[in-house]
Structure 1
């Protein structure tokens, strides 16, 4: 399911501070890396689309991009590299219908999880850190 949720990044953005480590990755596509370095020189921590091809559409294009070393976030790029997920990424990259079907199924499952609030959980103000 995590591999499918990565498809949700096809419509998101990330600030440069969240992916600076990727700019030191020698395997990253050099053209993309040069473009990102130029963008990230700007003031106020600029942001870029996670999907460089179809940023306003939830689709399977991001999987083709990460197969080509064009993942902006390391977590997305690692999906194409890890043995347990690389085959799934390849299937989604080549089959628009399969991705669409499985993405919908995963969203339904996530919708049924239920949000933990109060003493049972928290809604984070920053997804990378626990609230104080």
Structure 2
């Protein structure tokens, strides 16, 4: 039996940054575990918008922050900050979990967490070797 996650005309839910913040570069989201999220928050010199639910902390980064890098397997990367459920069973579980809420708002007018420091921290916490390709995305 096939049960779709959403009707074909509906797109996955998108994290909405506060309207007064400038997202001129577009935005994606990087998901980490809550345990890693707390450590990352302490270590980064600048933190943009961060959303959280019971399962993930979502860091807002400029669009395309996945191009040319391999994010560790312990992270999730959401293009356009659209959080899609991978299966219908997950969608049923998600209905009982609160939607991600904004837990950190930056002091300035930029919603972004710098992706390079975030990338290296997530690699370190995951025990992964950073991997990138200079020719990717050109």
Name the TM-score class by shorter chain.
under 0.3
User: What's the TM-score, normalizing by structure 1?
Assistant: 0.24
User: What's the TM-score, normalizing by structure 2?
Assistant: 0.24
More helix by share: 1
